[in-house]
């Protein structure tokens, strides 16, 4: 008789968000694999849950080795509950390796749904929710992070990221460089907790805000690229036509960028480059003097 894996979604902040099934499952499990055993104990205490389950640490550093041990327990009929620090296990948290191994062996895998920082931030963002993608944590190294963001520059779906508070500013700066300073974004901090904060603006504005320092758990939600992007050459020509007709450069760039789905800063740079390539035009007075 084989056991089963149960992924247990836990509160991302407020313990009151735990469903009754969370308590029932943790009380009845044979084994609880916890990302942080101390945080698990605190959660159990706050929820008034008593369990006789064997508690094992299960985190990034030991996930591969521990998965093999848990798999052996499952073969013996144990119910193994997997718990991350917050939210749903296996979503940027330990759990995937065990689920994949269990599925491979035909062992049942189920879940107790719970709060999700990804969905909570997305719902609060005010950005389109009909299509979205979750990118987890971006690479820590600047070059790798920039390359990843460059790959996402044309992604039309709203994107959700996790980020460490001390890297939030540099990540937003990188987004400004690769996605455009005017790309809309939201910083969600300490969701469901006492000091919950949701900041909205462009990535450039949010980077300036983050320069003062950010604390707590951070989730970033970033608008997708415009559904249709105009041709830059045509957009440059449209801007120059407006300017030749008397319009100011920056308002003309803003108008054309909005109409053609282009980033203002990119179009502005392209217009300046085009103007620098234009030949100088001189006029002569009737006597031949320039």
Helix (H, G, I), strand (E, B) or coil at 251: helix
**Residue-level pLDDT at 264:** 83
- Out of 3.30.950.10, 2.60.40.420, 3.40.50.850, 3.30.70.580, select the CATH number for domain 118-222: 3.30.950.10
192's torsion region: left (phi>0), alpha (psi -120 to 50) or beta?
left
Q: Whole-prediction pTM value?
A: 0.75
**Residue-level pLDDT at 287:** 53
Name the pairing type of β-strands 197-202 and 31-34.
Answer: unpaired
Average pLDDT, the chain: 91
Task: Work out the average pLDDT over 178-207.
Answer: 96
pLDDT confidence of 162, banded at 50, 70, 90?
A: very high
> Which CATH superfamily groups domain 4-115?
Tetrapyrrole methylase, N-terminal domain (3.40.1010.10)
Q: Cβ–Cβ contacts within 10 Å for residue 267, how many?
A: 23
Note whether 59 and 36 are within 8 A (CB).
yes
Could you tell me the end-to-end alpha-carbon distance of the chain, in angstroms, rounded to an integer? 98
Instruction: Write out pLDDT tens, residues 231-267.
Output: 788 889 999 999 998 999 999 998 888 778 787 888 9
- Order across the sheet with 4-8: list the strands: 54-57, 31-34, 79-83, 4-8, 108-112
Instruction: Write out pLDDT tens, residues 23-64.
Output: 999 999 999 999 999 999 999 999 999 999 999 999 989 998
Name the pairing type of β-strands 197-202 and 184-189.
Answer: antiparallel
Q: Is 246 exposed, middle or buried (0-12, 13-18, 19+ CB in 10 A)?
A: exposed
Instruction: Write out pLDDT tens, residues 197-238.
Output: 999 999 999 999 999 999 999 999 999 997 655 678 888 999
Q: Report d(CA 121, CA 124) in Å as an integer.
A: 5
Q: Check residues 73 and 245 and name the one with the higher pLDDT.
A: 73
**Residue-level pLDDT at 283:** 47
φ, ψ of residue 67 in degrees (nearest 5): -60, -40
Instruction: Write out pLDDT tens, residues 3-15.
Output: 999 999 999 999 9
Q: Report d(CA 125, CA 145) in Å as an integer.
A: 23
Task: Work out the average pLDDT over 156-176.
Answer: 97
Residue 182 has pLDDT above 90, yes or no: yes
**Residue-level pLDDT at 255:** 87
């Amino acid at each position: 008789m084989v056991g089963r894996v149960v992924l247990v979604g836990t509160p991302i902040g407020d313990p009151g968000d735990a469903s009754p099934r969370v308590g029932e499952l943790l009380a009845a499990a044979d084994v609880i694999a916890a990302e942080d055993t101390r945080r698990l104990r605190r959660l159990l205490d706050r929820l008034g849950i008593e369990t006789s389950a064997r508690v094992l640490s299960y985190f990034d550093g030991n996930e591969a080795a521990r998965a093999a041990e848990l798999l052996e327990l499952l073969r013996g009929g144990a119910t193994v509950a997997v718990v991350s620090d917050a939210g749903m296990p296996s979503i940027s948290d330990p759990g995937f390796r065990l689920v994949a191994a269990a599925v491979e062996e035909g062992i049942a895998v189920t879940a107790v749904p719970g709060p999700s920082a990804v969905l909570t931030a997305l719902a609060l963002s005010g950005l389109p929710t009909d299509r979205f993608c979750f990118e987890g944590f971006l690479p820590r190294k600047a070059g790798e992070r920039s390359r990843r963001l460059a790959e996402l520059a044309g992604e039309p779906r709203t994107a959700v990221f996790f980020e460490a508070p001390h890297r939030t500013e540099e990540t937003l700066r990188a987004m400004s460089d690769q996605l455009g300073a005017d790309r809309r974004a939201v910083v969600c901090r300490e969701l469901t907790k006492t000091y919950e904060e949701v900041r909205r603006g462009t990535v450039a504005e949010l980077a300036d805000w983050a320069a003062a320092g950010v604390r707590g758990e951070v989730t970033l939600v970033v608008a997708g690229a415009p559904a249709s992007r105009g041709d830059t050459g045509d957009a440059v020509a449209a801007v120059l036509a407006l300017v030749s007709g008397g319009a100011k450069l920056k308002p003309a760039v803003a108008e054309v960028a909005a109409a053609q789905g282009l980033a203002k800063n990119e179009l502005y740079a392209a217009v300046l480059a085009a103007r620098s390539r234009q030949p100088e035009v001189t006029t002569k007075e009737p006597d031949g003097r320039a």
